[in-house]
Structure 1
Amino acid sequence: MTETRTEIAFTKGHGTGNDFVIVSDPDGELDLSDAQVAALCDRRFGIGGDGLLRVVRSARIPEGAASLDEEPEAEWFMDYRNADGSKAEMCGNGVRVFVHYLLESGLAELPAGSTLPIGTRAGVRDVMRSETGYQVDLGRWRAEPGETLVRAKGLGVPRPGLGIDVGNPHVVVALASETELAGLELDARPDLEPEPAHGANVEFVVPHDPLVHDGVGRVRMRVFERGVGETLSCGTGVAATALAVRHWAGSAAPDHWRVDVPGGTLGVRMFPAEDGEHVALSGPAVLVYSGTVALA
């Protein structure tokens, strides 16, 4: 019996090396299974990516109703899936790539000085142009109570981690040196104690020397992403890292940060808003190539 296969169009994009398979589905006609997403993201047998971005109108996906209630202008919803097919709340690099795709494909416009609201499972996120590409307001953030003990390959002893929620969960761990950071083996998921109910991305960070230069904090980070593994960059993880280091550094620490990841450098800014302090992430977005692929 011949297997029925459907061809779909896709675009490959990335933000500081955090790469995505982008599938345009404005009217919500595709129902991709976890296995199909995982196959598309497979680096040997598929296109390859840290996740998949389905471009769908908020009105055409059940989760989009909450986005439209929050912001009626949020026409587009970023249906983000991890490389294993699981659904995720947010992706800081992904939302910049998502917006860049919308603009390049003519599905939306973003004049200088204006913002484009994007629906996500973490709520509506406003994106605007920036000097380095795009800036996304990740909204209010939250520090989790207590400490999480983190065990990872390459670390001699467990280390305490600070839980930070920026629409999705993170645990940030401070390391003593660049040598420790380089010696991490992130081919296996770090063990967290206690284990967060929905898992967490885990960031390992060391400060630059000096930590602050010209009023900007500087740190270096590696990350293990929930549902993916080690990635070259994690946008929300970058924001969580800057927030954690600012917390550890004390009241004199700056509100502007530059975070170096294996895939490049991203900017973080904390600023007051009516509902509390927000955190914004800025950086590039790149579309690499487009094509078609057969879906089993």
Structure 2
Amino acid sequence: MKINFIKYHGTGNDFILIDNRSKNYFLKNNQIKFLCDRKYGIGADGLILLNNSKNQDFEMSYFNADGNKSTMCGNGGRCIVDFARYLNIIESETTFLACDGVHVAKILNKSKISLSMSNIINIEKKSNDIFIDSGSPHKIIQTNNIEDIDVFNLGKKHRNLLEHQPDGVNINFVQKISNDTFKIRTYERGVENETLSCGTGAVACAIAMHYSEQTKKNKILIKTLGGDLIITFDSQFRKSYCNIYLEGEVKIAFKGNIEII
């Protein structure tokens, strides 16, 4: 089977994008895992199929690098919006369907995209850690020495704790830089490694810092290893959050085709 694809990244979080409107591709778990493999395949943090949607412009179907279908991916959501523009499905604005519902997005310029995210109602605090589902489940751990954190080993340890099973959780380490700026590093489940950026993780960290009164701002700059993301939101007495938007750049890395068995 020959597959045409475009490799995208959103602040270093990279994805294989495939146009599946004609329903030609029924990829198995091991095939997706192969395509995302950085030694034997194309290499990516995840794979995204753009499918037809009955009521929206298109539907996003996201798979982690381990080949399993996963929850919402914020950076992937921004990338698929640009992919839809590339395919002439949309112009500068869109609504599309993902696993957590309908998202609204706007293309702000040639490379910057703003994406609406799901409302956040349930926020849980255990000891000094905060748990938020921002479309995907996240654990937020505050630190004062983010540069020295062993993200792979410490992230893996937290991700595999019994309390987070059977599905696991994404692990985010966050450090306050100023009243409206925070630096984060993320260990992503499904990738099972640190990624250069995580969109839902950036959203979760921004909300967590507001919830824990580390900031009073509702426009937060999140600095990741792969670049900057801006999160805006409205807060209801620090109990629930709505009108959440994730904004950042996306880029095409390369285009190609690959034959898989």
TM > 0.5 fold call: yes
Question: What does residue 245 of structure 2 align with?
Answer: 280
* CA displacement, residues 104-143 of structure 1 (integer Å, 9 cap, x when unaligned): 1212222xxxx31111101111101236611011020133
1:225 aligns with 2:194: no
Determine which structure has more spread, i.e. the larger CA radius of gyration. 1
- C-alpha offsets along residues 178-210 of structure 1, whole Å, 9 cap, x if unaligned? 4xx4331415623235215532111100110xx
Aligned partners of 2:130 and 2:140 also within 8 Å: yes
CA offset digits 1:149-192 (Å, max 9, x no partner): xxxxxxxxxxx4210111211111101224xx433141562323
The yes-or-no answer on 1:175 pairing with 2:143 is: yes
**Structure 2 equivalent of residue 45 of structure 1:** 40
* Matched letter for residue 186 of structure 1: F
- State yes or no: 1:126 paired with 2:104: yes
Query: Are the structure 2 counterparts of residues 263 and 292 from structure 1 closer, same or farther at C-alpha, using a change threshold of 3 Å?
Result: same
Aligned length: 253
Structure 1 contact 141–278 (Cα < 8 Å) conserved: no
Structure 1 residue matching 2:7: 3-state secondary structure: strand
Unpaired runs of at least 5, structure 2 = none
CA distance in 2, matches of 1:207, 1:25: 41
Q: Distance in 1 between matches of 2:70 and 2:229?
A: 21
| CA-atom RMSD in angstroms | 2.0
Asked whether the 8 Å contact 1:258–1:265 carries over to 2, the reply is yes
1:208-247 to structure 2, matched below 5 A, reads: 208=177, 211-212=178-179, 217-228=180-191, 229-247=193-211
Q: Distance in 2 between the 1:235 and 1:48 partners?
A: 19
Structure 1 unmatched ranges of 5 or more: 1-5, 60-71, 149-159
In the alignment, the residues of structure 1 paired with residue 257 and residue 126 of structure 2 have an alpha-carbon distance, to the nearest angstrom, of: 46
- In structure 2, the residue matched to 1:14 is 9
Q: Aligned partner of 1:33: which letter? A: K
How high is the sequence identity, in percent, across the aligned residues? 28
Asked if structure 2 preserves the Cα contact closer than 8 Å seen for 1:52 and 1:82, the reply is: yes
1:75-224 alignment to 2 at 5 Å? Answer: 75-110=57-92, 115-130=93-108, 133-147=112-126, 160-178=128-146, 181-186=147-152, 189-191=156-158, 192=161, 194-208=163-177, 211-212=178-179, 217-224=180-187
Letter of the 1:295 counterpart: I
CA distance in 1, matches of 2:169, 2:23: 29
Work out the CA distance in 2 between the residues paired with 1:242 and 1:254. 10
Q: Measure how far apart 1:103 and its partner are.
A: 0.5
SS at match of 2:117: strand
For 1:184 and 1:89, the matched residues in 2 are separated by: 25
The one-letter code sitting in structure 2 at the alignment partner of 1:96 is R
- Corresponding residue SS for 1:194: helix
Distance change in 2, residues 1:196/1:126 (3 Å): farther
Whether the aligned pair in 2 keeps the contact of 1:163 and 1:169 (CA below 8 Å) is yes
Aligned counterparts, 1:48-87, within 5 A: 48-59=43-54, 72=55, 74-87=56-69
Q: Aligned to 2:229, which of 266, 275, 280?
A: 266
The answer as to whether partners of 1:122 and 1:168 remain within 8 angstroms in 2 is: no
Structure 2: which amino acid aligns with 1:247?
A: Y
Contact 2:116 2:246 in 1 (8 A): yes
The residue that corresponds to 1:29 in the other structure is: 24
